[in-house]
Structure 1
Amino acid sequence: MDTVSLSVNGVSFTEAAVTKISEAAAAAAEAAAAADAPDDPFTGPIKALAPWNFTFLAVLMFVVTTLSLGENFLVMFVTFKYKQLRQPLNYIIVNLAIADFLVSLTGGFISFLTNARGYFFLGTWACVLEGFAVTFFGIVALWSLAVLSFERFFVICRPLGNIRLRGKHAMLGLIFVWTFSFIWTFPPVLGWNSYTVSKIGTTCEPNWYSTNMVDHSYIITFFITCFILPLGVIIFCYSKLLQKLKKVSHGRLATARKPERQVTRMVVAMIVAFMVGWTPYAAFSIVVTACPTIQLDPRVGAIPAFFSKTATVYNPVIYVFMNKQVVCVCVCVCVCVCVCDVNPNNKLMSLTVVSQHIRFLHKVPRKCLIQLFTGKGTIPESHLNQTSERPGITAESQTGEMSAIAARIPEGGLRSGEDPPSDCSSFPQLPIPENKVCPM
């Protein structure tokens, strides 16, 4: 068989050799093109990131999601179980717990699964649904914090005089939160911006990186309505609240100013928690929108989104578990104290009674403890002193510090010539309306 030879610079090549060289060159070109092409987050993980990065994020989201689901479910459970907690000022607290629970159930759980696989394996439509759900429930939680601050301002400062916060007012607040949040999170589904996969490839979010001016207009509007506006409401309401407390407690003894200091610390914690949870996310969105071509490490771009998800863990701690009333019933539920035997009507006990229950546990024999924790035993009345030496503790724990403070503030503040109370124990003697039970 004749072979065709090709001579290049005095070097002869057969036809087979030329074919092999051309195939090798084509394969090299394809490999180079594949290396330069962006990774598809729906088909595989980002090659530039080591697998341990996704493993770390999966573990982080598992811990955050587990804690958040447990805490927020406990809040919803005790509120459903004890009707005394179902007060108008607690509606927004339960709403916050529901929103945080849903954020963890959708975003947290899906984020754990996708990071465990290393990419968003659920597909494009699942990405849109996950991005919308996380953004929607997150904004519901964020605006719940703003409405909560306004309701506390309404109760303490009484801007409308004798008009009190009632159930219908609290329900209007809930309707506003869900409707307003839906209005500003659904447009990307309709085409004003879009929900797309993040740079790290395991979560979905609004398209911050778009160069389209229409998409930019949505991001700016979203930033104003869902961050600047609620932050302004929170700062205004809590600053007015602190001014009112400072004015009323002026001239009192140090013991009488203790509630003011407690509320001040909690207000500072609330504002700091809000800023820590949402400022990185908001700042990141504005920076990327202003400079859509900015080159960021995918891990850096993922930090704000994952950081905001941690708010679902510390929100219940700050806004719920600092409430003596809720802590009381949570102790009864978690420590398995035999509430049904001591209190068959399922009524709330004071912290004093609960602490007496707990102090009693180490004094009883092990057999009695087993009967107590299994619900087969009762706590003898002889071991419990139902009459507290400080009746103010019981009254205040039944309502919370904020409601007690609200009851102490007259319509026009502290009247001239009126002797300020010299002891906190005298405060609970004032009537506390039922609709002023407050989570603080």
Structure 2
Amino acid sequence: MGLQDEDIAFHSNIPVPLDITLAVVYSVFGVCSLLGNSMLLYVSYKKKHLLKPAEYFIINLAVSDLGLTLSLYPMAITSSFYHRWLYGKTVCSIYAFCGMLFGICSLTTLTLLSIVCFVKVCCPLYGNRFNSVHGRLLIACAWVYALLFACSPLANWGKYGPEPYGTACCIDWRVSNQHSTARSYTVALFIFCYILPCCVIVSSYMGILVTVNVSRKNMEQHALRKTHMSSIQTILIKLSVAVCIGFFAAWSPYAVVSMWAAFGHYENIPPLAFAFPAMFAKSSTIYNPIIYLMLRPKVRSLMRRDLGTLCHACLNGCLCSQGPAKCCAIHRQTNQFPPSNSSAQPPTVAIKCKDAFECFRHYPQMCSVTNPAANRDPCKDPDNSSSPNT
């Protein structure tokens, strides 16, 4: 490809307003994905000693989605704003490789997670034997599986190149349409990275729902167990439906257009037919955190508690940095409303912090109410910042 041909291939083929729209949408997706997957990793870190082997897949899903976000979104956003691919042919191949690696790893992780959930719910005799070693081994297999397909175009089975709309890179669909070897790679991707995961995910969650429904009917005569089973069933139904809808919404458009590019008349395919499916595929990075964060009550409560703690610590740190008067105001306001069980609480320590994040590390000691019997303001008595209140 000469310099002139390369420049033409890397020039956007969609109208400028649509490019700007894509850039804005990618920016929103990128921020949501970064926050969502970071929160997912944070929650996993907070409960790392309580993690079950099956939850390793959720962590791996967050890692692969975060990798996809950091490697793809910045270049896609800037190129869309400039109405052309800005980073040259070599970076184009790296971009496509990262998209393929992290995307297939996320797909494979979702598939393995559905299998593990099916075995644990429907075949508890075998599911109870699933441990952390099995989880790590399956996660390693997911990365090897993704690496196999991501490296294939680098070994001349398929080819990476610019997307037809010009501001991103993936498989070179023109080569896939014209050469049987490249077409066979596209077909392999369609079968092993879309059809097979789709069948496994749907079958697994359908099996889970059938099993839970049978268990619920068997427990109907026990009121307490009935309530418990109904709660479990509701969560499982939400998770199952959300995972299936997210999977189909993210990957079905791209799977369809890939087959169209491989076997149809390539020249008749409009660039927008590639741009919008690519946008849906990238949106998969925000579905997974929403599904696994927002639909699990315990995770939601942990998030609310820690976010409230962080906000309180940041507010306290900001006000204290503006002067002792405002810092004292917070302590006085807190002292006006002591907890109802304050008499049963052990003495607390007021801690001096250099910044809000250091205060967050020591929370809740830094925000605790001093013993009302002492009748002393910790902001006026510096000794209280380093010794227990009496």
Give me the TM-score of the superposition, normalised by structure 2.
0.75
CA shift for structure 1 position 379: 6.5
Pairing 1:154–2:127 present? no
Question: Is the contact between residue 163 and residue 173 of structure 2 (CA under 8 Å) also seen in structure 1?
Answer: no
Pairing 1:40–2:8 present? yes
Pairing 1:140–2:105 present? yes
Q: For residue 195 of structure 2, what is the amino acid of its counterpart?
A: I
Question: Paired residue for 2:89, among 115, 118, 124?
Answer: 124
**3-state secondary structure, aligned to 1:209:** helix
Number of the residue aligned with 1:97: 62
Provide, for residues 249-285 of structure 1, a one-character-per-residue CA deviation record: whole Å limited to 9, x for no partner: 1151663534223312321121111111111111110
Pairing 1:110–2:82 present? no
**3-state secondary structure, aligned to 2:87:** coil
Number of the residue aligned with 2:282: 309
Pairing 1:365–2:333 present? yes
Residues 368, 99 of structure 1: alpha-carbon distance in 2 compared, 3 angstrom cutoff: farther
What is the 5 A alignment of 1:75-86? Answer: 75-86=40-51
Residues 250, 216 of structure 1: alpha-carbon distance in 2 compared, 3 angstrom cutoff: same
Number of the residue aligned with 2:33: 68
Give me the TM-score of the superposition, normalised by structure 1.
0.67
Distance (whole Å) between structure 1 residues aligned to residue 68 and residue 169 of structure 2: 13
Question: Paired residue for 1:240, among 174, 196, 207?
Answer: 207
**3-state secondary structure, aligned to 1:193:** coil
CA shift for structure 1 position 319: 2.2
Distance (whole Å) between structure 1 residues aligned to residue 249 and residue 82 of structure 2: 29
Question: Is the contact between residue 58 and residue 112 of structure 1 (CA under 8 Å) also seen in structure 2?
Answer: yes
Distance (whole Å) between structure 2 residues aligned to residue 302 and residue 312 of structure 1: 17
Question: Is the contact between residue 39 and residue 45 of structure 1 (CA under 8 Å) also seen in structure 2?
Answer: no
Number of the residue aligned with 1:5: none
Q: For residue 164 of structure 2, what is the amino acid of its counterpart?
A: K
Number of the residue aligned with 2:248: 275
Number of the residue aligned with 2:386: none
Structure 2: gaps of 5 or more residues: 314-331, 338-349, 372-390
Residues 85, 290 of structure 1: alpha-carbon distance in 2 compared, 3 angstrom cutoff: farther
Pairing 1:377–2:367 present? yes
Number of the residue aligned with 1:250: 217
Number of the residue aligned with 2:321: none
What percent identity do the matched residue pairs reach?
A: 25
Question: Is the contact between residue 55 and residue 115 of structure 1 (CA under 8 Å) also seen in structure 2?
Answer: yes
Question: Is the contact between residue 146 and residue 234 of structure 1 (CA under 8 Å) also seen in structure 2?
Answer: yes
Number of the residue aligned with 2:170: 205
Question: Is the contact between residue 119 and residue 126 of structure 2 (CA under 8 Å) also seen in structure 1?
Answer: no
Distance (whole Å) between structure 2 residues aligned to residue 244 and residue 255 of structure 1: 17
What is the 5 A alignment of 1:167-178? Answer: 167-178=132-143
> Which structure: greater helix fraction?
2
Number of the residue aligned with 1:409: none
With 228-237 and 286-295 compared, the bigger mean Cα shift is at 286-295
Distance (whole Å) between structure 2 residues aligned to residue 92 and residue 379 of structure 1: 41
CA shift for structure 1 position 365: 3.5
Number of the residue aligned with 1:411: none
Distance (whole Å) between structure 2 residues aligned to residue 97 and residue 368 of structure 1: 43
Residues 112, 83 of structure 1: alpha-carbon distance in 2 compared, 3 angstrom cutoff: same
Provide, for residues 189-220 of structure 1, a one-character-per-residue CA deviation record: whole Å limited to 9, x for no partner: 11111111011101101122321011111110
Distance (whole Å) between structure 2 residues aligned to residue 216 and residue 187 of structure 1: 13
Distance (whole Å) between structure 1 residues aligned to residue 202 and residue 31 of structure 2: 31
Q: For residue 378 of structure 1, what is the amino acid of its counterpart?
A: S
Higher relative contact order (CA 8 A, sep 6+): 1
Provide, for residues 79-98 of structure 1, a one-character-per-residue CA deviation record: whole Å limited to 9, x for no partner: 22332343211100000001
Pairing 1:218–2:191 present? no
Question: Is the contact between residue 41 and residue 119 of structure 1 (CA under 8 Å) also seen in structure 2?
Answer: no
**3-state secondary structure, aligned to 1:196:** strand
Question: Is the contact between residue 116 and residue 127 of structure 2 (CA under 8 Å) also seen in structure 1?
Answer: no
Residues 239, 118 of structure 1: alpha-carbon distance in 2 compared, 3 angstrom cutoff: same
Distance (whole Å) between structure 2 residues aligned to residue 316 and residue 98 of structure 1: 11
Distance (whole Å) between structure 2 residues aligned to residue 212 and residue 338 of structure 1: 57
Compare CA radii of gyration and give the structure with the larger one.
1
Residues 368, 124 of structure 1: alpha-carbon distance in 2 compared, 3 angstrom cutoff: farther
Number of the residue aligned with 2:194: 227
Residues 292, 181 of structure 1: alpha-carbon distance in 2 compared, 3 angstrom cutoff: farther
Residues 85, 189 of structure 1: alpha-carbon distance in 2 compared, 3 angstrom cutoff: farther
Distance (whole Å) between structure 2 residues aligned to residue 184 and residue 73 of structure 1: 27
Number of the residue aligned with 2:261: 288
**3-state secondary structure, aligned to 2:161:** strand
Residues 94, 53 of structure 1: alpha-carbon distance in 2 compared, 3 angstrom cutoff: same
Number of the residue aligned with 2:303: 330
With 261-270 and 250-259 compared, the bigger mean Cα shift is at 250-259
Residues 207, 41 of structure 1: alpha-carbon distance in 2 compared, 3 angstrom cutoff: closer
Q: For residue 245 of structure 1, what is the amino acid of its counterpart?
A: V
Number of the residue aligned with 1:31: none
Residues 380, 101 of structure 1: alpha-carbon distance in 2 compared, 3 angstrom cutoff: farther
Distance (whole Å) between structure 1 residues aligned to residue 42 and residue 116 of structure 2: 23
Distance (whole Å) between structure 1 residues aligned to residue 279 and residue 74 of structure 2: 12
Between the two proteins, the alignment pairs up a number of residues equal to 320
Provide, for residues 300-342 of structure 1, a one-character-per-residue CA deviation record: whole Å limited to 9, x for no partner: 32110111111111211112332223223222222226999xx
**3-state secondary structure, aligned to 1:201:** coil
Structure 1: gaps of 5 or more residues: 1-33, 341-363, 382-440
Q: For residue 187 of structure 2, what is the amino acid of its counterpart?
A: I
- RMSD of aligned alpha carbons: 2.9
Number of the residue aligned with 1:11: none
Distance (whole Å) between structure 2 residues aligned to residue 162 and residue 124 of structure 1: 47
